[in-house]
Amino acid sequence: MKIGVIGAGSWGTALAQLLAKNDNDVALWARKESVIASINAEHVNPRYLSEVRLSDRIVATSSHADALAGAQACAIVTPSHLLREVSCALAPLVADDLPLVVCSKGIEEGSGKLAIEVAASEMGNAGRLAVLSGPNHAEEVIKHIPSGTVIASSSRATAEFFQELFASDTFRTYISDDVSGVEICAAFKNVIAIAVGLSYGLGLGDNTAAMLMTRGLAEMGRLVEAAGGRAITCLGLAGTGDLIATCMSQHSRNRRFGQMLAAGRSLDDFSAETHMVAEGALACKTLRTLGQRHQVELPITEVVRAVVWEGLDASEAARVLAGRPLTAEFWGMGS
C-alpha cells in the first residue's frame, strides 16, 4: 500500500521506516526543504536518527496533497500543539473513509480535548480514527529492537487494520477500545518523566524515582477513570509500559528536560539544544484542565506545572510533595 506519514521528526521517521520495511510505499511529509532533499537524495534524515539509512521506499515531500495522493492510510505524527492546524490542512484532502492513526501524544490546550477528538472535529468520521501509543523510543524502533504498542479505536475494524499494518517481527501490536484511557496515559507519562528527571537532577535516588512513578501511576488511574476510561489501561503498554520507558530511558526527552530544569535551565534551552518538543511541558497544563473538569487531585502534575511555567524552584517542589498529608495508599481504602 501507499501510506502517508505526516511529520518527519524522530517518531515520524521511525514509523515511516517501519512501514516501508513492511513492504509499503511511504510518502513522508516534512516542513524543511533541507530534510526533504536529504531523505530523497541520500536516504538520511539530517535532523533526526541520522545514523540510520532510510528505505528507498520512503519519499519525502512538503506537499500534503502529494503525501496523501493515492494513499490507503495516513499516520499523523506531529507535536500535539500542532495537531489541529495539521488536521484542518488535511481535511479537504482525505476521503471520509480513509483510515487515520494519530501518533501524537498530548491534550489540546484550552479545550482539554484528546488528540483523537481534535482530529475528529476537523476531519469527521471518528470510527476511521485510531491512536497509537506505547513504550516506543524511536531510537530503538528504527533499529528493530523488540518493542510493543497499543492501537486504540472506537471501531474494532479500524484498530485491527492498523494492528496488521504496523505489526512486524520486532514491533508487536495490541488493540484496545479504551481510546480516552490510552490517550490520557500517553500524555500523563511525560509529566511524570519530568518529575523523575527533576528528582535525579537534584541528586536524589532510585527510591525517589520509583515513588514518583508509582504515585504518578495512581494519579493517572484516577484521572483516566474519572474521564470515562478504564483504570486497567494504566497497567498496559500505554500506561505502565510507557511510564517505565519514559522515566528511566537514556532516550527520554522529558526526563532529560526535567534534569535540565533542576540545573536551572529552561524550556527554551531544551528546545534549542535538542530540536525536540518536551510534550510533558504542555501536558502538565492540559492535564490540570482535565483534572479540574473532573474534580481529580493531581499533586505531582501540579508541582511539575509550577516548576515549568511559574519558576518554582525544584528543591522547593520536592519539599511541597514531601510535606503533603499522609493517607492510605489506595484511594477509597482507609480514612
Mean pLDDT value across the chain: 94
| Sign of the Cα pseudo-torsion (131, 134, 138, 140, in order) | negative
Instruction: Report whether 18 contacts 142 (CB < 8 A).
Output: yes
How far is 238 from 44, CA to CA, in rounded Å? 29
How far is 264 from 288, CA to CA, in rounded Å? 24
Question: The cell 488493540 sits on which residue?
Answer: 175
CA 85 from centroid of its chain's CA atoms: 17
Residues 6+ apart with CB under 8 A from 329: none
Q: What pLDDT does residue 332 have?
A: 58
Q: What pLDDT does residue 266 have?
A: 87
How do residues 162-202 score in pLDDT, each as one tens digit?
A: 999 999 999 999 999 999 999 999 999 999 999 999 999 99
The pTM score is 0.92
Catalytic (active-site) positions = 189
**Structural domains of the chain sorted by starting position, each given as residue range(s) with its CATH number in brackets:** 2-177 (3.40.50.720), 180-322 (1.10.1040.10)
- Amino acid identity for residue 170 in this structure: T
> Quick count: other Cβ atoms within 10 Å of Cβ 96?
8
How far is 46 from 95, CA to CA, in rounded Å? 32
Give the cell for residue 67: 503525501
How do residues 250-287 score in pLDDT, each as one tens digit?
A: 889 999 999 999 999 988 888 888 877 788 899 999 99
Give the cell for residue 276: 525536540
| Sign of the Cα pseudo-torsion (303, 305, 308, 310, in order) | negative
Q: What pLDDT does residue 334 have?
A: 44
Which pLDDT tens digits describe the chain residue by residue (335 residues)?
999 999 999 999 999 999 999 999 999 999 999 999 999 999 999 999 999 999 999 999 999 999 999 999 999 999 889 999 999 999 999 999 999 999 988 899 988 899 999 999 999 999 999 999 999 999 999 999 999 999 999 999 999 999 999 999 999 999 999 999 999 999 999 999 999 999 999 999 999 999 999 999 999 999 999 999 999 999 999 999 999 999 998 889 999 999 999 999 988 888 888 877 788 899 999 999 999 999 999 999 999 999 999 999 999 999 999 999 998 888 654 43
- Amino acid identity for residue 110 in this structure: G
